Chains A and B, each alone.
Chain A
Amino acid sequence: MSAAQTTESDSARRARNLAGGSQKLWRGEALNLRAIRRSWQAYALLSPIFILLIVFVYYPPLLGLVRAFFRWRPGVPATFVGLNNFITYFTYAETPHELVNIVKLLAFGLFAGIVMPFVMAELIFFVRSAAAKEVYRLLVIIPMLVPGIVTVLLWQKLYDPYLGPINDLLRAMGYDELALNWLGEPTTAIYAIIFVGFPWVWGVGTLIYLGGLGQISHSVYEAAALDGCTGIRRVLRIDLPLVLGQVRLLAILAVINAITAFQNILVLTDGGPGFSTMVPGLTMFHSAFRAQQFGYSSAIGLMLFVIAMSGTLIINRSIRSTDEDSSS
């Protein structure tokens, strides 16, 4: 996000100078009626955007925030129930299990979302030939050309206990006892869900890292090479600290995704077998669209929002980029 803001400041400053150098311009303009009336054009141009935003983007989360404390279902007036929805969720027998699943998904999501794309980006970055680099950069996006739902449905076929290639392969190698019903066993199902997308050299993440690595100046590498800092040591001592901004972005995306996403689980197991792959997001979905408990569902949504926001803040604090921290 910072890149866009730095490109902005240059011409903004120029515009300010053209307009007579008033310092207040960047923050807007003096707040008085005359200035507002003079700027009617800007407000008129923005009004459709803000009308849509207020009705369809601001209003729903605010409504959810309030209705998390209500009993709420379509066609029935909502009634205030205080903290009941939250108490119900936290005293529900399956809740600890759901939270453990989230922790598993989170631990793994950080690995698949941050580490693997970094490894892939470094591998491509170390390639000497510019043409080969270009080709690899294009090849990493090919898996993204398959719609997300198709990828999940394909993995479901790969796991198929009788017709799937994973078990065919295991049986061909003589490990018949390992040919399990991966998505159908309570002990393996959550890991099978986690394994979807292997080896997780996710196109967007790899490209974001490549962008960061490309911006490191050549003089840094020449100095490092003279000091004998090459290969793995260069990756850990120089590259990694210089792409911490990208690490932070991908970490935040991974955390939000691990905590809130349930689409793959809905498609692959729908929380089963039993409750072994249930997560709070899926409980939210079920309680709204199967049990019509929209207040309870909003409460779970609010709780997930709070957890995701705390995760974002923790990562923002703990991964500090080199521009802020020059001690290393």
Chain B
Amino acid sequence: MSTQYRGLGRRRPLQFSQLGLHVIIALLLALSLIPTLIMINLSFKNGLQYRWERWSLSLPLRGSNYNAAWDVIDGYMWNTVLVAAAGLAGVLMLSLIGGYVFARMRFPLREPLYYAIIALLMVPWVLSFIPAYMLYNNLGLLNTRWALIIPNIAGGPIFGIFLMRAFITGIPEELYESARCDGAGAWSLIWRITFPLSLPGLATLSVLNFVAEWNSFLWPLVTISDMSKQVISVGLFRLSRTTNDSVDFGSGGPLFAGYVLASIPLVILFIVLGKFYVEGLVESGIKM
């Protein structure tokens, strides 16, 4: 019945409306990509091109802008990678352990303890921002890398445990049964069985966590005053404030080259793990 319905002169108007769809989607995507394209275009310009040919593609491309930019922001880039990697390692480990314990072990107060963690997802950061600063101040952690690593290791597992518990619950119980029969303890059940089987879940968590760390701005802005320990977002902010590209046109190209360089780790991350990110959002059917 439905095939017959489809055959009844529906094809031609649909083809037309399909074309319209593609045009509208392309237009919306183009509009959202304009700032990115402008950034890339400006990153290759020398002073004269930056002043007189800002919106057109102009040759020759000045690749040395990237060398100049890298010399300024390489420290910020490495700091961010270091802090994000250290935090991520802790987040993944604690989320895996927590996810396993709540998914696979039975013990008194399991559910209350689980909800005591998940409820923290509902506390907006605005309530803790100021007092957390004072806490790190009192602990003498301000202006150290710990001030950037600890919040991630402590706060990251909240969503991590939520995600990994759901993931680990989906692992067939039979695998655990046979391992238990062989006398495996909790520790080896986690590392020998759960860990290799939950790699996709850990990949999703890694992307989410790394993107959040790479974007973090306000917290490092207030807790780190020593620019040699500062992260990329704050570094670029300072750079944009000290670059006077409306007078010194030659400084414009390197500034935008720095913006492009700061995006590259995220591009690499999405090329390698983006699949898990898109699938995690599209296929989990997340809602409230």
Q: Please list the residues of chain A having a beta carbon within 8 angstroms of any beta carbon in chain B.
A: 1-5, 7-8, 10-12, 14-15, 18-19, 25-32, 35-36, 39, 41-43, 45-46, 48-50, 52-53, 55-61, 63-65, 67, 72, 74, 120, 123-124, 126-128, 132, 136-151, 153-158, 160, 162-163, 165, 168, 198-199, 201, 204, 207-208, 210-212, 214-215, 222, 225-226, 243, 245-246, 248-249, 252, 256, 259-260, 263, 266-267, 281, 284-285, 288-289, 294, 297-298, 301-302, 304-305, 308-309, 312, 316, 321
Given contacts A25-B106, A45-B101, A160-B246, contact A127 B18 (CB under 8 A): yes
Q: Is the CB of B155 within 8 A of A212?
A: no
Q: Is the CB of B215 within 8 A of A294?
A: no
Number of residues from B at the complex interface, CB < 8 A:
102
Point out the residues of chain B lying under 8 angstroms from A145, CB to CB: 263, 266-267, 270
Sample (16) of A-B pairs whose CB atoms are under 8 Å apart:
A8-B166, A10-B169, A45-B97, A53-B117, A60-B131, A61-B131, A64-B128, A120-B28, A148-B217, A149-B217, A154-B36, A198-B31, A212-B285, A214-B282, A214-B285, A266-B218
Q: Is the CB of A140 within 8 A of B135?
A: no
Q: Is the CB of B131 within 8 A of A138?
A: no
- How distant is A102 from chain B, measured CB to nearest CB, in Å? 12
Q: Is the CB of A301 within 8 A of B288?
A: no
Q: How far is the CA of A97 from the CA of B204 in the complex (A)?
A: 41
The reply to whether the CB of B170 lies closer than 8 angstroms to some CB of chain A is: yes
Q: How far is the CA of A74 from the CA of B133 in the complex (A)?
A: 10
Contact of A28 among B38, B107, B186 (CB under 8 A): B107
Q: Is the interface of B mostly helix, strand, loop or mixed?
A: helix
Q: Is the CB of A74 within 8 A of B25?
A: no
- How distant is B215 from chain A, measured CB to nearest CB, in Å? 4
Q: Please list the residues of chain B having a beta carbon within 8 angstroms of any beta carbon in chain A.
A: 1-2, 5, 14, 18, 21-22, 24-25, 28-29, 31-33, 35-36, 38-39, 54-55, 94, 97-98, 100-101, 103-113, 117, 120, 122-135, 137, 150-151, 153-155, 157-158, 161-163, 165-166, 169-170, 172-173, 177, 185-186, 211, 214-215, 217-218, 222, 232-233, 236-237, 240, 245-246, 259, 262-263, 266-267, 270, 274, 277-278, 281-288
Q: Is the CB of A142 within 8 A of B135?
A: no
Residue of A nearest to B283 (CB): A211
Point out the residues of chain A lying under 8 angstroms from B172, CB to CB: 11
Q: Is the CB of B108 within 8 A of A301?
A: no
